[in-house]
Amino acid sequence: MDDLNEKVEPLYVKGCHWAGKYYKNSRETAKKRKQTFESAKKEYLSIRRRHEQQLHLKSGDNNIESKLKRSHSRYKTAERRYFQKSLMDAVKFNGWDIDVYQIEKFSSIIAVMIFGILILLNIMLLIRGSSMLMYVLPTSLVLPVVIYSFLLSYPEIVSNRMKVRTIGRTPEAINFLSMSMRVTPSLNRAIEFTAKNMDEPLGTGFKTVLWNVMMRKFHSIEDSFNAFALECGDWNEDFKRGLYLIKAAGLERSKEGLNRTLDKANELVIEGTKERIGTYVSSLSGPTTILFAMGVLFPMLIGAMLPILSISSPSSLSSYGEVSTSTTPPPTIEVGALMILIIPFLTFVFSWNILGKRPGTYRAPDNSRIGLITFQDIAVVSSILAIVLLLGHSLSNVILLPMMVMVFGISLGLLVFRRAKPLKKRRNQVWDLEKVFPDALFQLGNHISDGEPLETALGKVGRSMIGTEVGTLFLDIEKRMRFTREPLTTILFGDEGLLKGSPSPLIKGTMQTVIEVVQKDSRNAGQTIVNISTYLRDLKRMEHDIQTSIRSITDMARGTALVFSPLVMGITCGLYVLLGDSFSSMELGFSMIQPEHFILIIGIYLALTVAIILYFTTGMMYGQDNVQFAYELGYGLPMASIIFFLVALGSMEYMI
């Protein structure tokens, strides 16, 4: 899903650039808005002066109060329309090269295009006399307005989601700043080091601090850093205070004062992040209940009520309360659109919105990019379904269709699982390395504090942690140091360096700091490395505490997707077939959705429900991590499909 966001954002920017080419009067529009703003401001200031004079003289126009309120409202409206501060701040935070007028024009063009398409669709339905007109016509009036509003506010939506995700990255940023300051108490060097190791948008933010000084926007690095901290305070007060403490640490004259201030900065930001996560977790009981209702209760309700609604519909009764002999067409399209399009879309948007409020803590390694479903997968799955359909043509549809749903879920899930498994294995290796890395650093720092050279210390720590990723890394470093006599920087970060292709910026940044501190101050290097290990341990403890607090919620939601949803949907299919047979035998003069059509709708709804709930649970636990999502979908979809097939088949056999 992260890839989806990355694709949508550049597409949005390209669309705004394209729309701007056809917006020749953008300067005229800006000029008119400026004139309106200046006129409204002049009128407001004039009325306010008259109001102040009348208050002083205690006489004058009795309607001056209402005039002042109206002029103030016009002034504020013109100010917002001219400056568009919140929108432009969001565009700046996102790093997009677009302006307000391009955004407005793009939103208008897309909304008008959607409206035109829907109008043509309404005309076609009107000519054919289709009953779908009653659904499409209101949509034609509402949907363009919704799309226009969404596109117009999209930069702010992206900005707000990015700010929330960045909250969890702030302890890591403070950690990098602290590591650099412990080696050399230079704010300029610490900012450069952090900018190189942090991901977006904080990486770009720290680079901008340096760039603003180079471009003479600020006279000193301290002024530029203060402006950056003040800007961060708008969305994270704890991070702003942590940045101020980092700056204050550079002014400390003693080593003890420096360490004390840096420790305070780290503690402040970590505790603030934990508090925000705790607040977020406590607000999740309602959303998970809604997801449970959409995933489990809704299809059961639809399956049980459709036959009853068909009986009690006005068209099935005469004016005297007798059963009519005429039949109405079954609502197959309406129910299908509701359960395959509308409900899954609303559920996904609901989940997406909830996840957008989750403060990010975990950063997936660089190899977390994965295409979930390819055209090759679609071709393979389609071929398998065609073979099953050909072999099972003699079976009844109420048995064949649940089997098709099961085959679809198994084949698609296994294809996704096959692609995700090696990436998951590699990512787990990085996780294991980062998990035990603080303990390895602690041992390394103690050995160096005892006066042992770095080469010997690395070997001892590596042999004490044999069987772990970090033990293997340290032993490889020692081996190369002994036999190649190359500089440690080359061994780790050269063309064939051990960390050249490492997907963990945390490991690379920390080892770079270890090298520098050992080369600069071998006497105090051990204690500095021990302090760094304490920082890393605090970060890992924070991530563990957060995942522990979320796990109970995600386990319940995952159980809903993999067990309760297919169980209930299978029983619902059996119940629907039973009710359909019972009511149709009464010859009451109404028509129901064909059982095979209903089973197909339920099967598609099941696959979408499983995908959405697993998207929600993986996003809750790990943030936007496509590898984890694909891995869980790879085994979750087959599991849910098998349960659905067995329960549906068993319930139909038992009930019928």
pLDDT per residue as tens digits for the range 597-627 = 888 888 888 888 888 888 888 888 877 778 8
The string of pLDDT tens digits covering residues 82-137 is 667 777 878 877 778 887 778 888 888 888 898 888 888 888 878 877 667 777 78
The region of weakest confidence among 168-172, 239-243, 321-325 is: 321-325
Percentage with pLDDT > 90 across the chain = 0
Residues 396 and 494 reside in one and the same domain: no
Strand partners, 501: none
Statement: residue 321 has pLDDT above 60 = no
Q: Which residue has the higher pLDDT, 230 or 307?
A: 230
Which residue in this structure is represented by tokens 């790093």? 95
Statement: residue 210 has pLDDT above 60 = yes
The string of pLDDT tens digits covering residues 420-435 is 888 888 877 777 777 7
- 632: in domain: yes
Query: What's the rounded mean pLDDT across residues 173-186?
Result: 81
Domain count along the chain: 4
- 376: in domain: yes
Q: Which residue has the higher pLDDT, 289 or 2?
A: 289
Statement: residue 231 has pLDDT above 70 = yes
Residues 351 and 450 reside in one and the same domain: no
CB atoms within 10 A of CB 29: 14
Residues 414 and 547 reside in one and the same domain: yes
Q: Which residue has the higher pLDDT, 13 or 500?
A: 13
In 3D space, the residue among 244, 248, 224 whose CA is nearest the CA of residue 233 turns out to be: 244
Residues 425 and 435 reside in one and the same domain: no
- Residue-wise DSSP of 536-570: HHHHHHHHHHHHHHHHHHHHHHHHIIIIIHHHHHH
Residues 6 and 150 reside in one and the same domain: yes
Q: In sequence order, what are the residues at sequence separation of 6 or more whose Cβ sits closer than 8 angstroms to the Cβ of residue 594?
A: 330, 332
Residues 18 and 159 reside in one and the same domain: yes
Domain end, chosen from 537, 569, 588, is at: 537
- 303: in domain: no
Residues 482 and 568 reside in one and the same domain: no
Phi/psi region, residue 395 (left: phi>0; alpha: psi -120 to 50; beta: rest), is beta
Q: Which residue has the higher pLDDT, 319 or 260?
A: 260
E strand map for 448-578: none
What's the mean pLDDT when you consider all of the chain? 77
Tokens representing 286? 């309602």
Query: What's the rounded mean pLDDT across residues 63-88?
Result: 75
**pLDDT of res. 655:** 58
Q: How far apart are CA 609 and CA 410, in angstroms?
A: 16
Residues 50 and 152 reside in one and the same domain: yes
Amino acid making up residue 88: M
Statement: residue 307 has pLDDT above 70 = no
Q: How far apart are CA 586 and CA 621, in angstroms?
A: 52
**pLDDT of res. 290:** 74
The string of pLDDT tens digits covering residues 529-576 is 777 787 777 777 777 777 777 777 778 778 878 888 888 888 888 877
The string of pLDDT tens digits covering residues 148-159 is 888 888 888 888
Domain end, chosen from 106, 137, 165, is at: 165
Statement: residue 71 has pLDDT above 60 = yes
Q: How far apart are CA 621 and CA 544, in angstroms?
A: 10
Domain end, chosen from 483, 516, 537, is at: 537
Query: What's the rounded mean pLDDT across residues 141-151?
Result: 88
User: Please, which pLDDT band fits residue 400 given cuts at 50, 70 and 90?
Assistant: confident
**pLDDT of res. 429:** 78
User: Please, which pLDDT band fits residue 453 given cuts at 50, 70 and 90?
Assistant: confident
Which residue in this structure is represented by tokens 């984890």? 628
Residues 412 and 436 reside in one and the same domain: no
**pLDDT of res. 572:** 80
Residues 31 and 133 reside in one and the same domain: yes
- 300: in domain: no
User: Please, which pLDDT band fits residue 393 given cuts at 50, 70 and 90?
Assistant: low
Q: How far apart are CA 616 and CA 610, in angstroms?
A: 10
- 76: in domain: yes
Statement: residue 165 has pLDDT above 50 = yes
Residues 10 and 118 reside in one and the same domain: yes
The region of weakest confidence among 19-23, 131-135, 138-142, 441-445 is: 19-23
Q: How far apart are CA 637 and CA 614, in angstroms?
A: 10
**Domain enclosing residue 180, as ranges:** 168-281
- 286: in domain: no
CB atoms within 10 A of CB 84: 18
Residues 260 and 334 reside in one and the same domain: no
Asked whether the whole model's pTM tops 0.85, one would answer no
- 294: in domain: no
- 624: in domain: yes
Statement: residue 4 has pLDDT above 50 = no
User: Please, which pLDDT band fits residue 313 given cuts at 50, 70 and 90?
Assistant: very low
The region of weakest confidence among 249-253, 351-355, 363-367 is: 363-367
